[in-house]
Amino acid sequence: MKEKILKKDQVKQLHEDLSRYYSFYAPTKVKGNIVFKKITNPEDIELEYLNSKIPPKEILFPRMETLFSYKIDEKNIEIEPRTDLEEKILIFGVRPCDAYSFSLLETFFNFGQFKDDLFMKKKENTVVIGLACNTPRATCFCTSLDYNGHPHRKDDVDIFLTDLGENYLVNPISETGKAIIDKLAWLSEANNDDLQKAEELSKKAESLISTKLDLQHTAEILDPSFNHPLWKEVSENCLGCGTCTFLCPTCTCFDVVEDVDHYNNRGKRVRIWDTCQFCLYTLETSGHNPRNTKIERCRNRVLHKFNYYPKNYDLIGCVGCGRCIHLCPVNNDLREIIKKINAIKNENKKEEVVVA
């Protein structure tokens, strides 16, 4: 049988074995927030969690990433490219929705003529060990998404773990995953009871997801709704902060800035997270800003995920993790926005495009 069993106290050993070959990232608690960090002490790994506050995209697409650094010595400028991209990365304990977000990120960073070497190189060197989600939040809606989202979806990971209570059921998915499992000879075999239990948990988890959204026609409805009064309504109480986008596992926008260290005559060019929710994001040199008010900015976030993504990549740009819903400071609920969008379906059929 290819499935194995990992006892909970064996996670330590797993960490020891794998961190020899990989930089081992896993969820850990930092000041009350679950975040993915490089783990040196396996005691720090926190697997009993709902979902991380900051999505694991942070490992492949960090808040701040150096593109290159340089030194200035009198008149000479010496450029130092990145050398750490060959690092093998292992991300342990990723929820299925976040695991799928890696494929969405890849779609963006690997699209068209200009590919993002930094991201792609890291992605190639990354192994993802997923962890089934037995405790979805009330705000989760992965099952409504087009990728067959499911709290126990296994497709996007190399190895899939299911928490059976005492043990984890280890399910190798990809070839890489199988190779890793083969090396871990100390794992015990799983029996039919375990598989059955995992199956039950999967069904139970699915039933726990209470939010069902109809996203089938959302993209079409959004097409003629660019100037719909809806946008004014949904952006009314938006503060214009970047919480929803910074903590979104699929948001990819970044800004390139110069980080200069005057102390030591050196600097680096870095990319930092940016968001379409900021006024400065679209401000042009001329002073013109095509998205001048939060109405346009709120619209852009929804359109990007539910209209532009389907048009460009034939995918919805959302994984249904619900972070933007429960972290929004003013509770501007994405689910409500979607419902409102769906409600204008019939309106549009009247052929009258409403102009705000």
Partner 1 sequence: MVKQMGDIQAENVEIEKKMREVARSLLIEKEVDVIIGYARGTVPLSSSPIFIKNVEDIDSLIWDNLCYVNLARYVVPPLTEFVDNEKVELKVGIVSKGCVARALIHLAKEKQVDPEKIKIIGIPCNGVVNRRRIEKELGEKEVLEISVSNDQVIVKGKDFEEVLPYQDYLNELCKTCKVKSPPMSSSLSDVIVGESIEISSVEDDFSDLSEYESKTPEEKWEVITELLSDCTRCYACREACPMCYCNLCFVDQNKPIWFGKTSEMSDIIVFHLVRAMHMAGRCVGCGACSSVCPMGIDLKLINRKLEKIVKERFDFTAGLSLDVMPPMMTQKMEDSEDFMLGEH
Partner 2 sequence: MNKAVVESKQDEEWQPKIIAFLCNWCSYAGADLAGVSRIQYPPTIRVVRVPCSGRINPFFIIKSLIDGWDGVVVSGCHPGDCHYISGNLVARRRFAIVKELLDFIGIEPDRVHFMWASAAEGELFAVMIRKISELVKKLGPNKKFEKKW
Give dist(CA 243, CA 228) in Å, integer: 25
Residue 25 three-state SS: strand
Neighbours of 263 (CB within 10 A): 6
Region of 107-115, 118-126, 187-195, 330-338 interacting with partner 1 (CB under 8 A): 330-338
Q: What is the 3-state secondary structure (H, E, C) of 159-208?
A: EEEEECCCEEEEEECCHHHHHHHHHCCCCEECCHHHHHHHHHHHHHHHHH
Q: Is the dihedral of CA 341, 343, 349, 355 positive or negative?
A: negative
Return phi, psi of residue 355, to 5°: -110, 130
Instruction: Choose from partner 1, partner 2, none: what does 266 bind? Cβ within 5-8 Å by kind.
Output: partner 2
Q: Which of 23, 42, 50, 178 binds partner 1 (CB under 8 A)?
A: 50
Measured from the CB atom, is 179 or 272 closer to partner 1? 272
Residue 234's closest CA among 143, 112, 356? 356
Partner touching 265 among partner 2, partner 1, none, CB below 5 to 8 Å by kind: partner 2
Residue 288 within binding range of partner 2, rule CB under 8 A: no
Interaction of residue 53 with partner 1, rule CB under 8 A: yes
Spatial contact of 294 and 71, defined as CB atoms under 8 Å apart: no
Range 134-173, binding partner 1 (CB under 8 A): 135, 137-139
* From 261, 313, 336, 356, residue interacting with partner 2 (rule: CB under 8 A): 261
Strand pairing category for 89-94 and 23-30: parallel
Phi and psi angles of residue 258, each rounded to the nearest 5 degrees, phi first: -100, 130
Residue 117 touches which member of partner 2, partner 1, none, C-beta under 5-8 Å by kind:
none
Helices (H), the chain: 11-18, 57-60, 96-109, 117-124, 175-183, 192-208, 218-222, 230-235, 243-246, 294-303, 309-313, 323-327, 334-343, 345-349
Give whichever of 72 and 353 is closer to partner 2, judged by the CB atom. 72
Task: Give the pair of three-digit tokens for residue 349.
Answer: 């059929």
Q: Does 114 bind partner 2 (CB under 8 A)?
A: no
- Can you tell me which of 8, 232, 266, 326 binds partner 2, judged by CB under 8 A? 266
Kindly indicate which of the ranges 68-76, 92-100, 220-228, 321-329 contains the residues binding partner 1, using the contact rule CB under 8 A. 321-329
Q: Residue 68: in which H helix or E strand, if any? A: strand 64-73
Does 30 engage in binding with partner 1 (CB under 8 A)?
yes
Among 28, 134, 250, 275, binds partner 1 (CB under 8 A): 275
| One of 7, 12, 38, 63 touching partner 1 (CB under 8 A) | 63
How big is the site for partner 2, counted in residues (CB under 8 A)? 9
Nearer to partner 2, 73 or 284 (CB): 73
SS3 content of the chain, % helix, strand, coil (to 5): 40, 20, 40
Closest approach, Cβ 76 to partner 2, in A, equals: 12
Site for partner 2 in 69-88 (CB under 8 A): 72, 74
**One residue of 6, 215, 221, 270 binding partner 1 per CB under 8 A:** 270
> Which of 43, 200, 236, 314 touches partner 1 (CB under 8 A)?
236
- Residues forming contacts to partner 1 in the complex (CB under 8 A) are 29-34, 46, 48-50, 53-54, 63-64, 135, 137-139, 232, 236-237, 239-243, 246-247, 255, 257-259, 270, 272-273, 275, 278, 280, 293, 295, 325-333, 335-336
